[in-house]
Amino acid sequence: MSLKVLGISDLQVSKTPGDVLITYSLGSCIGLTVYDPVAKVGGMVHYMLPLSKIAPEKAKAKPGMFADTGVPLLLTKVLELGGAKDRLIVKAAGGSQLMDQNKVFNIGERNYLVLRKLLWKNNILIKAEDVGGNYSRTLRLEIDTGYTTIKTREGESEL
């Protein structure tokens, strides 16, 4: 097993048997996994902000930082590795309100809404999700099987 750790604003794809993609500390950020069970190709992005228009230069250097640049890039890279759009299994986690209890900025909620809009425009549905609340999550994807888990303070479970 080869563990590939994604930090904030990271994006990775793989079709290497034994690879496991994992990202920690999803607060208001969103972790998105995309997996094709036939091609056995998958990927993950850990984005922190909804729209790149606030910092186009950062989006160019680090497209995984934003939903509107990171999500399309993740989909493109999975398809380039042999994934098919109609077979994709998409799962999302994060979008919580950790440091914004009064919902002044609503970053977590906005991150999730932009994600839903992007996927809807691409005719892609989310199969499973664990979003919102006020706690942190760890998201993990096994490339061999597509097995996806979410870990919270309550424990670990399949997503």
Domain positions in the chain: 2-158
Q: How confident is the model at residue 97 (pLDDT cuts 50, 70, 90)?
A: confident
Q: How confident is the model at residue 99 (pLDDT cuts 50, 70, 90)?
A: low
What is the CA angle 92-159-70, rounded to 5? 20
Pairs from 76-82 (Cβ < 8 Å, separation ≥ 24): 77/11, 77/13, 77/43, 78/13, 78/34, 78/35, 78/36, 78/41, 78/42, 78/43, 81/13, 81/14, 81/15, 81/39, 81/41, 82/15, 82/36, 82/39, 82/41
Residues involved in catalysis = 29
* Whole-prediction pTM: 0.94
In tens, the pLDDT along 74-93 reads: 999 999 999 999 999 999 99
Query: In this model, does residue 103 exceed pLDDT 60?
Result: no
Q: Mean pLDDT, to the nearest integer, of 8-35?
A: 97
The answer to whether the CB of 14 falls within 8 A of the CB of 143 is: yes
Fold annotation for 2-158: 60s Ribosomal Protein L30; Chain: A; (3.30.1330)
Query: In this model, does residue 98 exceed pLDDT 90?
Result: no
